Amino acid sequence: MRLPATARARRQPPDHGGAAPNAFGWRFVTPLFVGSALNPVNSSLIATALVPIAAAMHVPVGSTAVLVSALYLASAVAQPTAGKLSEEFGPRRVFLTGIVLVLLGGVLGGVAQNLTTLIAARVLIGVGTSAGYPSAMLLIRRRALSAGMAAPPGGVLGGLAIAGMATIAVGPPIGGLLVGALSWRAAFLVNIPLALAALAMTASWIPRDAPATGRRDAREVAARLDVTGIVGFAGTMTALLVLLMGLPHLDVTALTVTLVLGAALVGWERRAPTPFFDVRRLVSNGPLTRTYLRSALTLLGVYTVMYGLTQWLQAARGMSAMEAGLFLLPMGALSALVSRPISRRNLVRGPLITAAATMLLASVGILFLTTHSPAVLIVGVSLVFGVTVGTQSVGNQTALYTQAPGDQLGTASGLFRTFSYVGSIGSATITGIVFKHHVTDHGLHTAAIVLIAAGALVLAMTLLDRRLKDPAGRGSRPATASTPAVAAANTATTVPPTPATTGDKESP
């Protein structure tokens, strides 16, 4: 439910010179939305291009899964790194640097002649697009503080959620149209106009970061960024990816390296003065950790459907890339429609319960799909997953904003995406296993069984998490004189005021 009008009025900060109403105009939010959408769009855009790429490069379809995993791995490491860099050097600088890398990746992929070059292009795109979301979250927070606002409007965070996560469902239809009309190279070349547009808008409309105060030597910068922690995290994630991609055969070497590097990483981060992977905070902040896990498990299902279903439609049912993409178009449209009204109210628990329930329902529905199933049944299952995408993206992001420490929002936002990509890497593993040799109905149904188990776990986690009723922990705070406002705030699931910190102002 929403706050009553009187309660909302009491919670509004004073209007400092009329800046607040215009702080989040379309010029400010548009480049942030575009930049944040680049990563999820690229994650799903290639789904319909995998089969044509395999044919062009004369490799098995299963081998092209590395193109998916390469972007996931690069993003999993680069997202929190970009958040950390944004906190240290300014979010606008990091945002612009990321867009330039996307531009380079699009050019490289568009002219690639072999699978190795395509992998390199995907890594560039993964690193570049990873700067968008954590930088945007930090820019939004600083904008709200500089305007004297307790929190950004719900429509801003909701728009970021729609642009950043709901658009993953739009990737396959767009990819299908581009690949069908042009070729698989369009899945890479499309980044060129998008990056150029985002670059121009950001340079023109986003205020410059505050100038750096004082000069810092390389050793001080490395310590602040925790370069050792970043390298250790990258090594651990790489070993984990090798382990996952080798399943169902257990790679003992990869398992050993993962455990050793993971243990060393935890030991180092517990002693680091400014840890990259803040183990202590993850352990102490249970609600935030559960938000990370929920996002990972939900996206395991969403991405498995997008990649698995599109490959199945093409290889098993004989559809073209364009036809397979169009089959998932209603899914993307519905996810955007569902997200918008929820985002305006900043709801958390209700949307997350809906996301878990629809994920479980749609996963059961996949068990009934065969190569002879009518088109309406396939579209129906994808529509249910569209509800999952829309509700989870808004619910989890709002929970993140309320649960993350204000002074580490950039890193926390990047780590949020990292956990999401752990789920995405898992999805690539599942599709790689079930479609290892041939794309069949049996393989699709095997994937559905895994998703049913994941959906049931997410639903149980959501229903049993009492903190989702009060994501910011307001219930534990002492009551104030404004009893009606406090009571209303404790029953609604809205973004709480963000405490101001020093050094968050922007220079024009």
DSSP 66-123: HHHHHHHHHHHHHHHHHHHHHHHH-HHHHHHHHHHHHHHHHHHHHT--SHHHHHHHHH
pLDDT value for 502: 34
Q: In this model, does residue 164 exceed pLDDT 50?
A: yes
Average of per-residue pLDDT across 206-226: 77
Residues 109 and 192 in one domain: yes
314 is a domain residue: yes
Average of per-residue pLDDT across 290-318: 87
Amino acid at position 399, single letter: A
pLDDT value for 192: 95
Share the mean pLDDT of the chain: 80
Q: In this model, does residue 454 exceed pLDDT 70?
A: yes
Average of per-residue pLDDT across 495-507: 36
- How many of the other CB atoms lie within 10 Å of CB of 252? 10
Q: Is the dihedral of CA 406, 408, 410, 413 positive or negative?
A: negative
pLDDT value for 212: 67
In this predicted structure, which of 4-8, 135-139, 316-320, 370-374 has the lowest mean pLDDT? 4-8
Residues 145 and 129 in one domain: yes
pLDDT value for 344: 76
Predicted confidence (pLDDT) per residue in 192-210, tens digit: 999 999 999 999 999 998 8
pLDDT value for 169: 62
pLDDT value for 168: 67
Q: Could you give the dihedral angle defined by the CA atoms of residues 319, 325, 326 and 330, in that order, rounded to the nearest 10 degrees? A: 130
Amino acid at position 371, single letter: T
CATH number for the domain harbouring residue 183: 1.20.1250.20
Residues 84 and 177 in one domain: yes
Residues 333 and 238 in one domain: no
Residues 301 and 404 in one domain: yes
Q: In this model, does residue 494 exceed pLDDT 70?
A: no
- How many of the other CB atoms lie within 10 Å of CB of 465? 18
4 is a domain residue: no
Residues 379 and 455 in one domain: yes
Residues 83 and 193 in one domain: yes
The confidence band for 99, taking pLDDT boundaries of 50, 70 and 90, is very high
pLDDT value for 167: 64
Residue percentage of the chain with pLDDT more than 90: 32
Which of 48-57, 197-206, 400-409: highest mean pLDDT? 197-206
Residues 198 and 230 in one domain: no
Residues 244 and 135 in one domain: no
151 is a domain residue: yes
Predicted confidence (pLDDT) per residue in 345-391, tens digit: 777 899 999 999 999 999 999 999 998 999 899 999 999 998 998 89
Q: Which residue has the higher pLDDT, 48 or 316?
A: 316
Q: Return the percent helix, strand and coil in the chain, to nearest 5.
A: 75, 0, 25
496 is a domain residue: no
3 is a domain residue: no
Average of per-residue pLDDT across 416-445: 83
258 is a domain residue: yes
114 is a domain residue: yes
Q: In this model, does residue 483 exceed pLDDT 60?
A: no
* Domain stop point among 275, 293, 308: 275
In this predicted structure, which of 82-91, 107-116, 413-422 has the lowest mean pLDDT? 413-422
Residues 241 and 110 in one domain: no
Average of per-residue pLDDT across 495-505: 36
* Domain stop point among 275, 306, 333: 275
pLDDT value for 327: 79
Burial 97-110 (b: 16+ CB within 10 A, else e): bbbebbbbbbbbbb
Which of 158-167, 196-205, 246-255, 275-284: highest mean pLDDT? 196-205
The confidence band for 471, taking pLDDT boundaries of 50, 70 and 90, is low
500 is a domain residue: no
Q: Which domain holds residue 232?
A: 226-275
Residue 264 in contact with residue 238, Cβ under 8 Å?
no
* Domain stop point among 257, 275, 293: 275
Average of per-residue pLDDT across 303-319: 84
Residues 244 and 313 in one domain: no
d(CA 78, CA 405): 20
Residue percentage of the chain with pLDDT more than 70: 84
d(CA 308, CA 327): 13
Specify the number of domains making up the chain. 2
In this predicted structure, which of 54-58, 187-191, 495-499 has the lowest mean pLDDT? 495-499
Average of per-residue pLDDT across 256-266: 94
pLDDT value for 150: 67
Residues 304 and 252 in one domain: no
Which of 19-28, 199-208, 284-293: highest mean pLDDT? 199-208
Q: In this model, does residue 90 exceed pLDDT 60?
A: yes
